[in-house]
Structure formats: structure tokens, C-alpha cells
Structure 1
Amino acid sequence: MTGHRDHLLAEAVRLREDGRREEARERLLALCEQFPTDPEVAYQTAWVHDTLGLEAEAVPHYVRAVERVEGAQGQGLSSDDRRGALLGLGSTYRVLGRYPEAVVTLGDAVAEFPDDDALKTFLAMALYNTGRAHDAMEILLTVLASTSQDPDIVSYRPAIEHYAKDLDATE
């Protein structure tokens, strides 16, 4: 059954990648009925809903993809897919105006994947939406200082890192 599932899942992903998203959605929803606890099927189903602008419908699939059930069979998502699903869920919560849920989801994701700057960036956006602009700026300035190759940014890296910790500093 696993080979059959793998084939059907790969086919649905290919349809999504080829821009045939509605067909992919139909196939993935059918796979969800066959494999209701499969995290990969849930993740791909969430993803296709997001690409179609059906964010509210994507949420339960993202939740199923990332939940860790005690004693569950199987490995769950790969690390990369888990990271993508957490980013997708947090971003979708934010787009839906569910800002506190976005902050919790993305904050937990950053704790789990502390080197992922995309997660940090989406967390900063969610923090901004909850009125936590100072925290958002600290994250963004830290990411900017540590990742930019722009010579002008690099030359000011120590100052940017200093002010990231305390934007209200005057010295």
C-alpha cells in the first residue's frame, strides 16, 4: 500500500508543480480520505490549498501535518518538510488575522529550528501584527546583520547588532 500511496502522492505533487492545482487538490483530498493520519499527505494538501488562496481550508491540514502524536506509527515529516509546514501554518494564521496563533506557531518553530532565518522573518511579521514592533525589529535587524553581503551593511554590522539589542540606545 505504501508504494501505491507514494505514487499517488508524487502524481499529485507533480500536478501542483505543473500549475494544475485544482486537479492536485482533488487528488490530495482523496488521499486524505485514504490516509487521514499521514503527515506528508496532510502537508501537501495544505500546500495546494495555500497555492489556491484557500488559506482557511489549509489550516487543518497543516495542523495534522505538524502534530506529534504519542505512539503514532511512522516517522512524520522530514526536517525540511516540517520546517516548511510550520512556516506555512504560521504564515497562514497571520494572513487570516489569527496573529496570536501565528506568533505561537512561528515562535515554537524558531525554537525548534533556530538557524532558519525565513522562520525568524515570518515571526517578525507576526510580532509586528500583535503590536510587538520592538521585538520584530530586533529579529529583523539581527537577521539582516548576520546574512547581508551588502558592503554598506557589512561595514555597519557591529552597530546594527548593537542597536538590534536596544533600539532605544542613544550611544
Structure 2
Amino acid sequence: MTDAVYAELDRLLAERDRDDMAPTLAALKVIFDAHPTDARVLYEYAGAHDTAGQEEAAAELYERALAAGLEGDVRRRCLLQYGSTLRNLGRFDESIEVFGAARVEFPDAASLAVFEAITLHAAGQVHAALGSLLDVIANHVDSAELERYKPAIRGNAAYLRDLDARVDAD
């Protein structure tokens, strides 16, 4: 893939109108038709479908992008967006699975943890969702005031996650 194609992707996405994605989708389709197996092209085309509210098409394209070998930060973003799309489609178990695997692959990614919490909440696991957000605070918020309380925040996070686990076991 040439840098020129990726530069064109970047330009199109920078100029997109999130309220009217039709022109962006049309322009991206031309690139997609020319490079239907390129992981980044698939990812960006998926994201445009997602932004346009076409989650079913987006999910399929995200899956293809991941299978095509996305790496690094673009892979992290794709996993986040794919997990969120699955949540929006009501496919909560799949979304939780995607976020769980993504968090293993990118353990320091606060964005994945936040969106995983949104999925947990949507799936009715409200204690686990709050526990996950408390972990994000303890692990990613740099505040002198919070430092002394981080062990307690982490303890509360573990307690909350355990509540949902106990409810699921019953």
C-alpha cells in the first residue's frame, strides 16, 4: 500500500461531515474497491459505516480488517470500535469477549476499559461496569489527592466486580 492512499484516507476522514456521511462513504468506496483486502482501508471504511449508523455493515468490515492483520494503535482503535458496534447491535456477550481480549492485548489502554464498562453496563452488569471505571481512575488518573486512596479505590473496584460475579453464579 502506498503512503498516498493512506494520506487520502486521512484527508477524507478529516473532512468528513458526521451528520452527512454519504459523501465520505462514496469517496471511501472508491478506495475500498481498489484495495478491498487492505487492513487499514477496511478499518476506515468500517468506521465510516459506523458513523453513518450502518452498524451491521461496520461489524462485518471490522471483522475483515482484523483478519487482514491490523497492528498497533490502529488495531486497538478497531477493537474498541468493533466492540462498541457489537454493543450497539445488542450483541453484548460478543462485545464483552472482544473487549476482554483487547484488554489482554492492550492492558494499558484506558479507552478500552472505559468502553468495556459501557458494554458491561448495557449488558446489565452495573457493578462490574462501575468497578471497571474505578480501575480506570486508579490506574490512569494522575492526581496527588487520589494517590493515598488508590488502594481503597482498587479494593472497591474488586468488590463491585465480585458482586456481579456472585449474582451471575446464583
Q: Higher helix share goes to which structure?
A: 2
Residue correspondences, number: 159
Does residue 18 in structure 1 map to residue 15 in structure 2? yes
Contact 2:49 2:55 in 1 (8 A): yes
Structure 2 residue 62 is the aligned partner of structure 1 residue 62? yes
| Corresponding position of 1:116 | 109
1:158 corresponding residue in structure 2? 151
Q: Deviations over 1:56-106 (max 9, x none)?
A: 2211111111125xxxxxxx3230000000001001111222211111111
Structure 2 partner of 1:44: 44
**Seq. identity, %:** 38
RMSD, aligned CA = 2.2
Structure 2: gaps spanning 5 or more residues: 164-170
Q: Which runs of 5+ in 1 are unaligned?
A: 69-75
Give the Cα separation in 1 of the matches to 2:95 and 2:113: 12
TM-score normalised by length of structure 1: 0.80
Give the Cα–Cα distance (whole angstroms) in 2 for the partners of residues 150 and 140 of structure 1: 16
Cα distance in 1, alignment partners of residues 71 and 112 from structure 2: 17
**1:82 is aligned with what amino acid?**
R
> What do residues 106-153 of structure 1 show as CA deviations (whole Å, max 9, x unaligned)?
111111111111111111221222222232222211111122234543
C-alpha distance in 1 between matches for 2:99 and 2:150: 26
1 CA distance for matches of 2:5 and 2:22? Answer: 15
